[in-house]
Structure 1
Amino acid sequence: MQTFLIGYDLNKTGQDYADLIDAIKKLSSKWWHHLDSTWIIKSNSTAIAIRDILAAHIDDNDELLVVKLTGDGAWAGFNDKGTKWLITNLPTT
């Protein structure tokens, strides 16, 4: 499985995130969400395929980023559960 970072900005006032969040959770049972608009998931898919699935849940003026993670990461301030998930699931070089 590969690891992907998903980030988004829904720019319309009063935007409903529920459909997009449900779509992200359906992509993988292994997901991390400790920042407002940032997710990390494990998937056998590609960044383009993930983008295409999620793009159906955003408006034309919204922004969506899907990036395959390939190296080390660093973080601060997360609880033990969040940190453990990152250590276990982020790829290492």
Structure 2
Amino acid sequence: MASVYLISYDLRKVRNYEPLIKTLRDWGCVRPLESVWVGYLKGGAATIRDLLVAHMDTDDGLIVVQVPAGSDWAFRQVKEDAGALFRQYVRA
């Protein structure tokens, strides 16, 4: 079953964002902030993490957090497509 996931990364030394960004875009994720993405994805957080680390260096950081429907959330000055995703799938 699909759920909303919040994904954030910190590319530390070599900053080649393109493979990671391409994967996130291919999955239909949207970017509310510079290094934060949200998407309505299938699979668990560990599975998503494992698929994304293939596009990262070993010193890079990554966090994947499931945001279940009904969760409390708030944002300010994010891109509208991210707000729409939260309103559609998380609501609250």
- TM-score scaled to structure 1, two decimals? 0.82
- C-alpha distance in 1, partners of 2:79/2:21? 21
Does structure 1 residue 37 correspond to structure 2 residue 38? Answer: no
**Secondary structure of the residue that 1:6 maps to in structure 2?**
strand
Match of 2:66 in 1: 68
| 8 Å CA contact 2:33, 2:78 repeated in 1 | no
Note closer, same or farther for the CA distance 1:12–1:5 as it changes in structure 2 (3 Å cut): same
Could you tell me which runs of 5 or more consecutive residues in structure 2 were left unpaired when the two chains were aligned.
none
Does structure 1 residue 87 correspond to structure 2 residue 87? Answer: yes
- C-alpha distance in 2, partners of 1:52/1:81? 26
| 8 Å CA contact 1:69, 1:91 repeated in 2 | no
- C-alpha distance in 1, partners of 2:22/2:79? 24
RMSD of Structure 2 on Structure 1 (CA): 1.8
Match of 1:59 in 2: 57
**In percent, how many aligned pairs have the same letter?**
29
Deviation at 1:77, TM superposition (A): 2.0
Could you tell me which runs of 5 or more consecutive residues in structure 1 were left unpaired when the two chains were aligned.
none
| 8 Å CA contact 1:10, 1:63 repeated in 2 | yes
Match of 1:47 in 2: 45
Give the aligned length. 89
